[in-house]
Structure 1
Amino acid sequence: MIMETADQAAQNPGCRRALAELLYQLADDELCLGHRDSEWLGLAPDIEGDVAFSSIAQDEVGHAVFYLGLLHELGEESPDRLAFFRKAEERKNAVLLEQPNGDWARTMVRHVLYDAFDDVRTEALVNSSYRPLARGVAKIRREEHYHLLQLKPWFIRLARAGGEARKRVERAVGEVWSEAGGFFSLGDEEEEMIRSGLIACGSEELARRWEMRVKPVFDEAGLTWPGLPPAPGKDGRRGEHTEDLTELIRTMSEVVVTDSAARW
């Protein structure tokens, strides 16, 4: 069934619940990563990287605003309330995205792994039965394409540089791999998401497609492919998070908590 409006989606409670779950996952992933990206402002290794990361951070937060806006149309609270006032256990982002950046190598590794996943996920949404989501994702995919164009060469150059740079990339891969499997979870509503046509495939197929995207990058970088990541210890899609997210929410909401009249 094709749904052109939030009212149409709301007519089926199961579909509406699955749609909200999916939108929260999309929004929370982008919001967490966008804020982490913004923390590199003025700290990137060169001016080009600094400017690029500023732009990427704006894009990611802008994508979060879009998804939160769709949630508001479904009857959820305003985007500001959803972004700043939900507790950690109410968030649906993958745990890896809430963690601190670490060094530049770790940031590149995490970002390339996530951007490849987001490419696969949004590809599975371009024909979503919820047409407002499908239309928005078509524009988002064009922006995300340039993120990978900017960041993938950094990943490859660092790995192929040898010496300390390569050691840091290898260490970063080891650090993030146990959490990267959290990307693929679709939470408790996966079956309904697929049945309602909201997304074209489930978590196992997302992981398979992601591997097809990322393994060639590892080959080009001269890195050993570790195999598909295992299921993580905490599933962020089910509200299982770390203190890193609590601290991140506190930082993101400093202005709005201090001044309730401020607008995002």
Structure 2
Amino acid sequence: MERGEKIVKRIDTAKEAKQNPSYFEALVELLFQLADDDFIISFRGSEWLGLAPHIEEDVALSSITQNTMGHASLYYHLLEDLDIGNADKLAHERQAVERRNASYFERKNGEGSYLQEPYYDWALTVVRQFLFETMKKVKLETIINSSYQPLADIANKVLMEQPYHLAHWRMWLKQLLGSTEEAQNKVQFQLEAAWPACADIIGLGPKAFELEKHHLIAGEDYLRKQWLKELEQSLSLPSSLFVDNHPARGRYGEHTADLDQALSTLSEVYNSDQKAVW
């Protein structure tokens, strides 16, 4: 251990976490953010089943989506262990205002619906998935040192899969930016639409101070710095990033109508048989 480095007390069980109300509330907030991000992004990915640009991508995106939903399940089960509620109910029965995902991740893939004349934008999906996976990598690399050991253990497990996801979307971004003028313009359009949401994507919401104080995850300043460093490997970034002017801030429960649509669709099968295992 380096001189001056803080000794972080490890919390090994849910029982221990509950003994400190401030710690417990911050932990629950973080778990909901992580779970809800993975949950909604995997749903939007699943809407491409059978519609991806080619069959190899259809298989690849289906695999990535399945993995990501599995990651969401891990976090929801940690919340269940903390007696917040049943994992299935937390995933499917909470209203939009209760969700803590970044609102940018809930955006529809495009016009139409999966069963009725879908006209989806692949550039939106590539940009969103790339930004999401880059953010996820940065957060996970700090969470492996989290003071809550069960969460640190899950972060280590997820990090065995996540780099492959990021590499996939980094490759797609590079290919599109090096392709036709039309492809380049579509990607640039989606990037410009995404930049105002950056503060929400990397933000930690109302418990940001407590999350850093209790060593559950690195602070927002560090996350922002690392995220920019990662993004700069693939993109030229505008100077206006992290201006908090996004119309919806998901970490605070502010969402768009697109999330209502997603949750309604997601709940159809679950509500048909709520006793089934998710």
Candidates 37, 53, 56, aligned match of 2:64: 56
Q: Which residue of 1 aligns with 2:90?
A: 82
**Following the alignment from structure 1 to structure 2, what is the Cα–Cα distance between the partners of residues 149 and 2?**
32
What amino acid does structure 2 have at the position aligned with 1:154?
W
TM-aligned CA deviation for residue 64 of structure 1: 0.4
- Match of 1:247, SS state, is helix
Asked if the contact 1:256/1:263 (under 8 Å) is kept, the reply is no
TM-aligned CA deviation for residue 162 of structure 1: 2.9
Candidates 171, 195, 200, aligned match of 2:213: 195
TM-aligned CA deviation for residue 150 of structure 1: 1.2
1:252 aligns with 2:269: no
Gaps of 5+ in 2: 1-8, 111-120
User: Quick check: 174-183 or 78-87, which moved more?
Assistant: 174-183
**Following the alignment from structure 1 to structure 2, what is the Cα–Cα distance between the partners of residues 47 and 53?**
10
**Following the alignment from structure 2 to structure 1, what is the Cα–Cα distance between the partners of residues 104 and 75?**
20
- For the aligned residue pairs, the C-alpha RMSD in angstroms reads 1.1
What amino acid does structure 2 have at the position aligned with 1:236?
G
Asked if the contact 1:184/1:204 (under 8 Å) is kept, the reply is no
1:9 aligns with 2:27: no
Q: Which residue of 2 aligns with 1:225?
A: 237
**TM-score w.r.t. length of structure 1:** 0.95
**Following the alignment from structure 1 to structure 2, what is the Cα–Cα distance between the partners of residues 256 and 249?**
11
1:29 aligns with 2:6: no
**TM-score w.r.t. length of structure 2:** 0.90
- Match of 2:234, SS state, is helix
**Following the alignment from structure 1 to structure 2, what is the Cα–Cα distance between the partners of residues 245 and 193?**
26
**Following the alignment from structure 1 to structure 2, what is the Cα–Cα distance between the partners of residues 91 and 233?**
16
Candidates 132, 149, 156, aligned match of 1:131: 149
Asked if the contact 1:4/1:130 (under 8 Å) is kept, the reply is yes
Asked if the contact 1:255/1:262 (under 8 Å) is kept, the reply is no
TM-aligned CA deviation for residue 146 of structure 1: 0.3
Candidates 154, 158, 169, aligned match of 1:151: 169
Q: Which runs of 4+ in 1 moved over 6 A?
A: none
Q: Which residue of 1 aligns with 2:116?
A: none
1:178 aligns with 2:196: yes
**Following the alignment from structure 2 to structure 1, what is the Cα–Cα distance between the partners of residues 72 and 221?**
25
**Following the alignment from structure 2 to structure 1, what is the Cα–Cα distance between the partners of residues 205 and 189?**
29
Q: Which residue of 2 aligns with 1:41?
A: 49
1:114 aligns with 2:126: no
Q: Which residue of 1 aligns with 2:79?
A: 71
TM-aligned CA deviation for residue 258 of structure 1: 2.2
Gaps of 5+ in 1: 219-223
Q: Which residue of 2 aligns with 1:239?
A: 253
Asked if the contact 1:127/1:134 (under 8 Å) is kept, the reply is yes
TM-aligned CA deviation for residue 42 of structure 1: 0.7
**Following the alignment from structure 1 to structure 2, what is the Cα–Cα distance between the partners of residues 65 and 99?**
21
Q: Which residue of 1 aligns with 2:118?
A: none
Pairs aligned (count): 258
**Following the alignment from structure 2 to structure 1, what is the Cα–Cα distance between the partners of residues 97 and 22?**
22
Candidates 167, 172, 180, aligned match of 1:162: 180
